Structure 1
Amino acid sequence: MAFEYTLGVVIPVPQPHRETLRAWRQEYGGEATGPIAPHITLVSGSYLNSWEKAAAQVRRVAATVEPFSIQLGPARTFRPASDVVFLPLETGADECWALHRALLGDALRHESAFAYHPHLTIAQNVPAEQLDAAQAALGGTRLSFTADRIQLFDTRGGEWNFSEEIALGT
């Protein structure tokens, strides 16, 4: 079975934290992070043959999960394995893992060079000085919000496109 299309399923960060995180991502992660809203990835991968089958699976899983709290903690890094500075989930990671596992199978596959690890990326693939600055500046970070929706993206046409926002527990 050949997987032909790419999709993403993410938890969006609500206001007011979205703009704060967007500013940090632009400062430390560069201009490439600008068009990408802050989020926690649940699945980044592919689907086989039918977009509607994949989207239906995402909707079905979302309906079974109640909203939950997320607390982002002080900046950490994946270095030396990967040049990334991120905010870890101090609460909400177990729920993200459960969502990740529930989304996989049938029509969806998670494809990454790294094992799934719920987090919010601040900077990646930038010079070490920027990674160091991000980690130092955000070493005391604590942000909390309620995850009450997920978003579905596709790469039809070669770019990430927002497709749908799905409330949790509906």
Structure 2
Amino acid sequence: MGTVTLGVSIAVPEPYGSQLQELRAGFGDAAAHGIPTHVTLVPPTEVAADRLPEIRAHLAEVAGAFRAFAMRLAGTGTFRPLSPVVYVRIAEGAQGCTRLQHRVRDPEGPLDRELAFPYHPHVTVAHGISEEAMDTAFSTLADYAAEWVCDGFALYEQGSDGVWRKLREYPFGAGPTGVPAQLNSPADDAAEATIRPS
């Protein structure tokens, strides 16, 4: 049986997601268009493909017991010199992200794994580019701000082309199976929009 590379994250909604993705590409980060703008819950993790049903069931259980929380982005930060990353800071919602990732990576569950660094929720806007370009990213987004209500997360798979694609969405407090990404309907989107602040 083969393996797949999975990740679990909170998508940054539109219009913010596309704005930050385009800015990231503009800073010279070649990976930008293959990585939807997100807050990581589980970093890239290689698992046996036959474990997907177990993983999906676990994620649905976690999401079903979780509740929506406010998210607010404000300003920039960096992990340099430890790691070549510039990010947009999570000014509100970090605690919710931390609790959520802890449940997703439950030591008794199928996504238990060690992290290279202590968990620090953030939105990457530059990674592995020149110091000058990272300085530009840091200053350009110093006054950046966005806010929304986080009402779920998603499971992603990295293709052989390096592009991350959404497999399934997991709305908080929803049913037992999650929502296949390709089955989203305008009605679903409208229902989701009603709980977001204008």
Residue 166 of structure 2 corresponds to 162
Structure 1 contact 10–150 (Cα < 8 Å) conserved: yes
Residue 41 of structure 2 corresponds to 42
Residue 132 of structure 1 corresponds to 135
Residue 142 of structure 1 corresponds to 145
Query: Cα gap change, 1:56/1:107 in structure 2, threshold over 3 Å: closer, same or farther?
Result: same
Matches within 5 A, 1:13-52: 13-44=12-43, 45-47=45-47, 50-52=51-53
Query: Cα gap change, 1:99/1:46 in structure 2, threshold over 3 Å: closer, same or farther?
Result: farther
Higher relative CO (CA 8 A, sep ≥ 6), structure 1 or 2? 1
Aligned partners of 1:88 and 1:124: how far apart in 2?
Answer: 15
Residue 99 of structure 2 corresponds to 98
Structure 1 contact 58–103 (Cα < 8 Å) conserved: yes
Q: Which moved more, 1:22-31 or 1:87-96?
A: 22-31
Aligned partners of 1:110 and 1:95: how far apart in 2?
Answer: 20
Matches within 5 A, 1:57-68: 57-68=58-69
Q: Secondary structure at the match of 1:123?
A: strand
Q: Deviations over 1:87-116 (max 9, x none)?
A: 111111000010111011321124542222
Q: Deviations over 1:22-48 (max 9, x none)?
A: 121111252321121101011123446
After TM superposition, the score normalised by the length of structure 2 is 0.77
| Identity of matched residues, % | 31
Aligned pair count reads 167
Aligned partners of 1:29 and 1:56: how far apart in 2?
Answer: 38
Query: Cα gap change, 1:55/1:153 in structure 2, threshold over 3 Å: closer, same or farther?
Result: same
Q: CA deviation at 1:12?
A: 0.6
Residue 8 (str. 1) matches residue 24 (str. 2): no
Q: CA deviation at 1:118?
A: 0.5
Q: CA RMSD in A?
A: 1.9
Q: CA deviation at 1:157?
A: 5.7
Query: Cα gap change, 1:124/1:156 in structure 2, threshold over 3 Å: closer, same or farther?
Result: closer
Unpaired runs of 5+ in structure 2? 175-198
* Structure ID, larger Rg: 2
Aligned partners of 2:160 and 2:31: how far apart in 1?
Answer: 19
The amino acid across from 1:10 in the alignment is: S
Structure 1 contact 7–155 (Cα < 8 Å) conserved: yes
Residue 117 of structure 2 corresponds to 114
Structure 2 contact 77–88 (Cα < 8 Å) conserved: yes
Unpaired runs of 5+ in structure 1? none
